Structure formats: C-alpha cells, structure tokens
C-alpha cells in the first residue's frame, strides 16, 4: 500500500501540543500488555543499542515502537532524522510533549506492519520489538529489505536463536534462511528481564542484521521466500522433495533431478540446506538468476 503513510495521522513534534501532565510517570498511562509494552529502563543498554546501529548525522533512523522514548532520546542526538512508528496514541502524545523542542523527530501513529518504506533508501532501523508480533515484524523487515541497510532489533531470546540458527539445528527454519541469506546476522547481547518495566517473563536478546548486497529483483525475491517456506511445510522434518512436491505441484522425479543438478542428495531435508543451497534451489526451480 504505497500511500499508507500519508493517510496516517502524523504528528510532528512541535510546541503546539497541549502541555498535559506526564501521565506515564505518574502511572496514569498503564502499560498495555497485549501491545507488548515492556519499557527499557536501563539507560546504558539504550546507549549500547544505539551505538551498535552506528548512527551518523547523515542517517534517517526508523524506530519501531519508541514507547517512552529511552532509545529515541539517544537517537535524536546523533541522527539526521528519526521516525518513530508507534501504535499507541497515548505514547505518541507523550513523546510529542517529551521531545517537543526537537525538530529531527517525526512521530507516526500506526501499526508498523502497515508502514510503507518504499520511498526510503539506506534506512537504519532500531526497535525493542513487541514480542507478540516480533516474527511478523521481522518478516516485514526482510520483505522490505530494499529500503534499509542495518537493523538492530531486540527480541525474545528464543526467537533470536531461531533467527541465528545454523542448518541442522532444530531452531533452523524459514526465517533463519531468509534472514541469513539477506543479512549478516549477529547476536549483540542478552538483556536481563530486570532492565524492563513491567518485568517481562522472558530474557531478551539484541541482534544486528547488516544487509548484504541484494542479488535479485523483487519478484524473484518473492519466489525465493515462497520456495523456502514450501521446503519447510507442511512438515519441516519430511523429505524436501515431498514438501516441495505438495506445495509447488511439481513431480517428485523432476524435483529429484533438480536436486541432483545442484549437487544435493534426493533424500535431503529442508533443515540441512544452507541459505545458499536454498538460493540455488530457487534459481533451478524458477528463472531467478544472479
């Protein structure tokens, strides 16, 4: 949806916002659990996250879910422009008041999953992702990988393990393949539960994704994602040819021939293919080429 942003109520920080009391400090703005609202309260960690993103005064940074703005407050000192995408209007109003003298912060009240990045290039992205949609947000980031070059995301530790998993690991799945094919992915550090308020049930892990050079067109990229997903479903542990035959409606004989052609055994499972193997497979199955 190319026009998503312009249709959204945007609020630029300005002195025009009503000076209301800062409800969140007095507890009047109650964290909404279903929106994954656990706020980082450890200043040093916020600094480390921003440092990892390596922001310069040429950079436009998108912050996913700025919340109470602990990370935002560091970003606005170093970035050319910061765009905070926050779904909760109460927090948008709060942030607008908190940062009202800053003119390099733009706040957008919207669901990040609907945010249109197509007009941007070379973005840097940061966010302590709301846990309930971390996976959907990372898939969106990967599908929109044309528009950004580096992301620092904080996610539940177990989810980070899935993103970073190597072939053969039980955690290895479609998101590991696609994330690692597109980006150099690295674990930065764990963040203890006590560094957030309210205290979450899970430990968090900060991960950095540095986009590699993109080697295909957007339609080919979509085919690649579809083939990776087809390889793992309906049953990740089944033979790759069986999964692909079912999802892609290609005969097993043809699939075995293609696997042979790219040097993979007929009885391989999706879990054993490296991200590069998946790319070779997708190239052999479709017209994708480098």
Q: What is the dihedral of CA 108, 111, 114, 119, to 10 degrees?
A: 20
Residue in 11, 55, 86, 269 binding ligand SAH, rule: CB under 6 A = 86
Annotated ligand binding at 84? The verdict is: no
Count Cβ atoms below 10 Å from residue 223 Cβ, excluding itself: 17
Task: Determine, following the binding rule CB under 6 A, whether residue 35 of this chain makes contact with ligand SAH.
Answer: yes
Piece of 33-41, 54-62, 144-152, 250-258 that binds ligand SAH (CB under 6 A): 33-41
Annotated ligand binding at 173? The verdict is: no
Task: For tokens 């990988």, name the residue.
Answer: 145
Count Cβ atoms below 10 Å from residue 30 Cβ, excluding itself: 11
Burial label for 290, CB within 10 Å (0-12, 13-18, 19+), is exposed
What's the closest the beta carbon of residue 109 comes to ligand SAH, in angstroms? 9
Positions in 226-285 near ligand SAH (CB under 6 A): none
Piece of 37-45, 171-179, 200-208, 269-277 that binds ligand SAH (CB under 6 A): 37-45
Task: Determine, following the binding rule CB under 6 A, whether residue 182 of this chain makes contact with ligand SAH.
Answer: no
Annotated ligand binding at 271? The verdict is: no
Task: Determine, following the binding rule CB under 6 A, whether residue 39 of this chain makes contact with ligand SAH.
Answer: yes
- Whether 125 and 144 have beta carbons less than 8 Å apart is answered as no
Q: Which residues pair with 208 in a beta bridge?
A: 152, 186
Of 140 and 223, the one with the shorter C-beta distance to ligand SAH is 140
Count Cβ atoms below 10 Å from residue 68 Cβ, excluding itself: 21
Task: Determine, following the binding rule CB under 6 A, whether residue 66 of this chain makes contact with ligand SAH.
Answer: yes
For Cα atoms 277, 278, 280, give the angle at the middle one, nearest 5 degrees: 65
Q: How many CA atoms lie within 13 A of 185 on its CB side?
A: 24
Task: Determine, following the binding rule CB under 6 A, whether residue 113 of this chain makes contact with ligand SAH.
Answer: yes
Of 92 and 209, the one with the shorter C-beta distance to ligand SAH is 92
Structure tokens at 137: 């947000």
Task: Determine, following the binding rule CB under 6 A, whether residue 68 of this chain makes contact with ligand SAH.
Answer: yes
- Whether 159 and 153 have beta carbons less than 8 Å apart is answered as no
Q: Which residues bind ligand SAH (CB under 6 A)?
A: 35-40, 64-68, 70-71, 85-88, 91, 111-113, 128, 130, 133
The binding site for S-adenosyl-L-methionine comprises 40, 65, 86, 128
The binding site comprises 40, 65, 86, 128
């Amino acid at each position: 949806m190319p026009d998503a942003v312009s249709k959204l109520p945007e609020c630029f920080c300005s002195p025009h916002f009503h000076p209301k009391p800062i409800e969140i400090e007095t507890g009047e703005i109650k964290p909404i659990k279903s929106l994954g609202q656990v706020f980082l309260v450890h200043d040093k960690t916020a600094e480390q996250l921003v440092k990892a993103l390596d922001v310069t005064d040429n950079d436009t940074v998108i912050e996913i879910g700025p919340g109470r703005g602990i990370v935002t407050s560091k970003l606005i000192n170093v970035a050319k422009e910061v765009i905070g995408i926050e779904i909760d209007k109460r927090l948008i109003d709060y942030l607008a008041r908190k940062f009202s003298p800053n003119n390099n912060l733009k706040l957008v009240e919207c669901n990040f999953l609907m945010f249109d990045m197509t007009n941007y290039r070379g973005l840097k992205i940061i966010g302590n992702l709301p846990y309930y949609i971390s996976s959907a947000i990372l898939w969106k980031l990967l599908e929109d990988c044309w528009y950004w070059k580096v992301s620092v995301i904080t996610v539940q530790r177990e989810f980070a393990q899935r993103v970073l998993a190597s072939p053969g690991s039980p955690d290895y799945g479609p998101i590991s393949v696609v994330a690692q094919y597109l980006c150099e992915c690295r674990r930065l550090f764990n963040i203890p539960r006590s560094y957030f308020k309210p205290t979450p049930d899970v430990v968090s892990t900060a991960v950095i994704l540095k986009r590699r050079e993109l080697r295909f067109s957007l339609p080919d990229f979509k085919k690649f994602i579809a083939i990776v997903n087809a390889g793992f479903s309906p049953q990740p542990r089944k033979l790759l040819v069986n999964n692909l035959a079912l999802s892609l409606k290609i005969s097993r004989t043809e699939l075995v021939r293609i696997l042979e052609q790219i040097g993979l055994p007929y009885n391989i499972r999706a879990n054993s293919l490296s991200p590069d193997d998946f790319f070779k497979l997708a190239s052999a199955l479709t017209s994708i080429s480098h």
